[in-house]
Structure 1
């Protein structure tokens, strides 16, 4: 095998992935995003802007806070509560219609106090999002709260 051939084999997958990401980024239908945390399984997600996810599927949305990520960052979480669902908390354990969503920690990994997220009936145009990872910043925390319609980008699908 020639050195040039070996060199191309090493770069083929990254080149194809970046080409796909570039193509998809310039369409108005799809986006590609990277998951930089351990909160979800997967690293690369395709966002279909035409499709709103069903309960239990991945949803992509824009982050509305300035901490700990920049405003406008793209987040992917599982859609676990829809308008009309009941969100309750007991000793910082969160439930959506009786299904446990996890424990809301009192402090972040860096020691910053974390306020618990909202409870009650999820209003029209809002959603509860979550992930199984104990350090996931999701609707269990006031930082994220309930995600509004205007934050939602579409359904996210794990590619890699």
Structure 2
């Protein structure tokens, strides 16, 4: 007796359904495409650039200074009726003290070299210390960017992912470079002394 063949319409619906589920899973957990609607990240990103946003990296590690990140609006932005995601560069990490003056950005008392910005910032900001679990983000087009120096810090859980690849226009297709900074790491806080005067030791596993 010949094997019963499934209706091709049913097969087609299954294929479309599985494809939709796969696409949703990739967009939700792996990567998604975004476009640049404004000039706030010039000259690094230009209006109508199309980017791939990597969502996997931040499941495995924390955001780093210099990362260009896409994030959902903070509470301060939601209160101003912003609903669309933003894209900016991380400048301040949790615990950093950040200032902007004399056309330069200072992190923990040291100037950071920024060869990616449009113009030197003409505003004064800080000093402000970035709270734990938050980040300070600024646009590369410093004087034409509505960013953290105006509305505050971005909570970790609002960050969607990191912009990694520009796929449009074809003439500028390629990876989005990451700057290097020569800032020393913040020293670790000393352990609290034992109330009885003895130094606390880590527990034996």
TM-score, structure 1 as length reference: 0.63
Which among 86, 91, 97 is matched to residue 75 of structure 1?
A: 86
1:54 and 1:91, CA in 2 relative to 1: closer, same or farther beyond 3 A? Answer: closer
Bigger Rg, which one:
2
Question: Shift in Å at residue 158 of structure 1?
Answer: 3.9
Q: Does 1:54 align with 2:64?
A: yes
Where 1:27 maps in the other structure, the secondary structure is: helix
1:25 and 1:34, CA in 2 relative to 1: closer, same or farther beyond 3 A? Answer: farther
Which residue of structure 2 aligns with residue 103 of structure 1? 121
Q: Which runs of 4+ in 1 moved over 6 A?
A: none
- Contact kept? 1:25, 1:32, Cα under 8 Å: no
- Contact kept? 1:25, 1:31, Cα under 8 Å: no
What are the within-5 Å matches in structure 2 for residues 62-141 of structure 1? 62-64=72-74, 65-66=77-78, 70-90=81-101, 95-97=106-108, 98-99=110-111, 103=121, 119-133=127-141, 134-141=143-150
- Contact kept? 1:118, 1:146, Cα under 8 Å: no
- Contact kept? 2:101, 2:125, Cα under 8 Å: no
- Contact kept? 2:88, 2:140, Cα under 8 Å: no
Question: Shift in Å at residue 96 of structure 1?
Answer: 2.8
Which residue of structure 2 aligns with residue 111 of structure 1? none
* Structure 1: gaps of 5 or more residues: 1-22, 106-115
TM-score, structure 2 as length reference: 0.51
Q: CA RMSD in A?
A: 2.9
Aligned length: 125
Take 1:31 and 1:135, find their aligned partners in 2: how far apart are those partners? 26
Higher helix fraction (1 or 2): 2
* Structure 2: gaps of 5 or more residues: 1-22, 115-119, 169-205
Q: Which fold has the larger relative contact order, with Cα–Cα distance below 8 Å and residues 6 or more apart in sequence? A: 1
Higher strand fraction (1 or 2): 1
Take 1:24 and 1:118, find their aligned partners in 2: how far apart are those partners? 41
- Contact kept? 1:77, 1:131, Cα under 8 Å: yes
